[in-house]
Amino acid sequence: MKLAGRSLTPGSGEGPVAVVPPLSFWGGYDPETGTIIDRHHQAHGRSLAGVVLVMPSGRGSSSSSTVLAEAIRLGTAPSAIVLAEPDPILVVGAMVAEELYGRRCPIVVLAQADYARVVSAVRAEVVADSAAASVTIA
Partner 1 sequence: MIRLDDHDRALLDGSRGAATAFAMRLLVRYGEAVGAPHFIDITRAHIDGCLYHGEASLDFAEHVLRLGGKVRVPTTLNVGSMDLIHPELFRGAPALGSAGRRLMEVHEALGCISSFTCAPYQTLFRPMLGEQIAWAESNAIVFANSVIGARTARYGDFIDLAAALTGRVPYAGLHVPENRQATVVFTVPAAVAAWPADALAVAVGSLVGERAGNEITAITGLPGGLSEDDLKALGAVGASSGAMAMFHAVGLTPEAPDVEAATGGVEPAVVEALSEADLTAAIGRLSTARPGMPVSAIALGTPHFSLAEFGRLMPLIDGFRRAPSVDLYVNTARDTHAELAARGWLARLEAAGFTLVVDTCTYVTSVMREISGVVMTNSGKWAHYAPGNLGIDVAFGSLEECMASAAAGRVVRRRP
Residues with active-site annotation: 61
Q: Is 76 in the site for partner 1 (CB under 8 A)?
A: no
77 binds partner 1 (CB under 8 A): no
How far are the Cα atoms of 13, 23, 28, 32, 45 from residue 126, in angstroms, in the given order?
Answer: 5, 20, 24, 25, 25
Which residue in 64, 122, 72, 119 sits closest to 98, CA to CA? Answer: 72
- Interface residue with partner 1 among 2, 40, 99, 102 (CB under 8 A) is 99
Among 17, 34, 65, 76, binds partner 1 (CB under 8 A): 65
Is position 33 an interface residue for partner 1 (rule: CB under 8 A)? no
Contact pick of 3, 23, 36, 67 for partner 1 (by CB under 8 A): 67
Distance CA(63)–CA(93), nearest Å, equals 9
Q: How many residues bind partner 1 (CB under 8 A)?
A: 27
Q: How far is the CB of 16 from partner 1 (least distance, A)?
A: 26
Alpha helices for 56-103 (secondary structure H): 64-74, 88-101
Q: How far apart are the first and last CA of the chain?
A: 7
Binding site for partner 1 (CB under 8 A): 8-9, 31, 61-67, 69-70, 73, 86-89, 91-93, 95-97, 99-101, 131
